[in-house]
A and B are shown apart, each in its own frame.
Chain A
Amino acid sequence: MDRVPKFRPGFRFQWEPAQDCYVLLYPEGMVRLNGSAGAILAEVDGDRSVAEIVHRLEQRFPEAGSLAEDVAGFLRDAEAQHWVALS
């Protein structure tokens, strides 16, 4: 929870109006992200820890209840995919 996620070199996260979603771009590839994946990765700035990201998302989506497990799980997957590094 104290670890800080950061996009790996070569990965760029941005909003694409034409696709109406967030995408992750990397060498000759692109992943379209669903709403929750986009919302989580939009909080990744290389400074915030997983705990801070969870806190910010819980404030933004109070009706969603506790998000710690979902967010941490998603970021672990993102690490396994080599999208982000957790340090």
Chain B
Amino acid sequence: MTPAARNQPTIGPPLWLLAELTYRCPLQCPYCSNPLDYAQQEQELTTEQWLRVLRQGREMGAAQLGFSGGEPLVRQDLPDLIAEARQLGYYSNLITSGLGLTEAKVAQFRDAGLDHIQVSFQASDPELNNAVAGSRKAFEQKLAMARAVKAAGYPMVLNFVIHRHNIHQMPDIIDLCRRLEADYVELATCQYYGWAFHNREGLMPSRQQLATAEQQVNEQRQRLAAAGSAIKLIFVTPDYYEERPKACMNGWGSLFLTVAPDGTALPCHSARLLPIDFPNVRDESLRQIWYDSPGFNHYRGDSWMPEPCRSCDEKGKDFGGCRCQAYLLTGNADNADPVCDKSPHHDRILAARRAADHASAGLESLTYRNTSNSRLFYRSG
């Protein structure tokens, strides 16, 4: 054991492995959680390297596996990765925009052992959906693929990222999900990392919008229950309207392990933005990375905490919140997540709320996630 690992409590295994296969994607969602400068990382892991990551992760105890991106369907070796995942005993989840999917692939993946396909939507109608996605044909394709997923017998999970431009559609969104016979619906309000942080002013709903949406979701829940529907609605409300931070990733390096397209191993899919040197699966085994790397041990335990977290009796509950949010909003990732009203930087959250009450800009003011915009970020960065 390295000195870094020795003074840690006990480190459990990474039960969740997220394989971000690529940053390539045909869509341009302005809330994409990929890094702003993603176009800089062009060297993707090879099939062999991904297979090794899957084997090592499973040996360590990972049971849930996500294939995401970018758009994971861009990778031609996806069927091989799925087959290996099944053979190893993972429960595998494909997180896709639906673009590039076909009925034949839906069936091929099923035969290879894929357990679940999550299709993301941008809105409940074609106009808004396609405007947010930056693609003219996205909506029809998504509808067709959602139906194909259902017909192939997968559990159907539909995901909607919610922001100020689609939050008014809540009843329509839920209606659409009912017609598509979804089993789970994730209504995930935007989390402000990556492109979403850059576009925050143009995305964040006002408190009034949020209150209306919450009420609508509750009404729909009652209607669904009364109709005997088994649809599960999962409404992820934005932490910017909370006074306590979320227990991010259930604690740094406690359950989740993300591998980015170029092989960088991260404790969460946003952590790449932190000024920390993260290890790469090309150089080290997943086991060394998880248990012994300085990057993963950096925020384990609580000895790194400054005040107010250090002496706070809630630190075992929320671990001081999200390191990425602390870094983005205060410039120092050690600080308490400013969502917390005990944080001396909580005023930055309050300012964002006030801005959301007065924002009026339309979709056209957002910076879309695409390669030419991304190049601007790393040239200027």
Interface residues of A (CB under 8 A from B): 8-10, 12, 14, 16-19, 23, 25-30, 82
Contact = CB atoms under 8 A, between A and B. Distances in A.
Given A10-B154, A14-B89, A16-B63, A27 B118 contact: yes
Nearest to A28: B93
B278 interface: no
B225 interface: no
B230 A25 contact: no
B60 A18 contact: yes
B246 interface: no
Q: Number of contact residues on B: which range applies?
A: 20 to 34
Nearest to B59: A18
Given A10-B154, A28-B66, A30-B15, A18 B61 contact: yes
**Most A CB atoms within 10 A — which of B183, B230, B232?**
B183
Interface of B: 13, 15, 60-61, 63-64, 66, 89, 91, 93, 115-116, 118, 153-155, 157, 183-184, 230, 232
A46 to B, nearest CB: 15
A62 B258 CA distance: 46
Given A10-B183, A16-B61, A19-B61, A28 B115 contact: no
B91 A12 contact: yes
Contacts of A27: 93, 115-116, 118, 155, 157, 183-184
B64 A30 contact: yes
**Most B CB atoms within 10 A — which of A12, A14, A17?**
A12
Given A10-B115, A19-B61, A26 B89 contact: no
B91 A25 contact: yes
Contacts of B232: 82
Given A10-B115, A12-B115, A82-B230, A26 B63 contact: no
Nearest to A8: B155
A19 B15 CA distance: 9
Contacts of A10: 115-116, 154-155, 183
A8 B101 CA distance: 25
A33 to B, nearest CB: 13
27 contacts: A10-B116, A10-B154, A10-B155, A10-B183, A12-B91, A12-B115, A14-B89, A17-B61, A18-B15, A18-B60, A18-B61, A19-B15, A19-B61, A19-B63, A25-B64, A25-B91, A25-B115, A26-B155, A27-B93, A27-B115, A27-B118, A27-B184, A28-B118, A28-B157, A30-B15, A30-B63, A82-B232
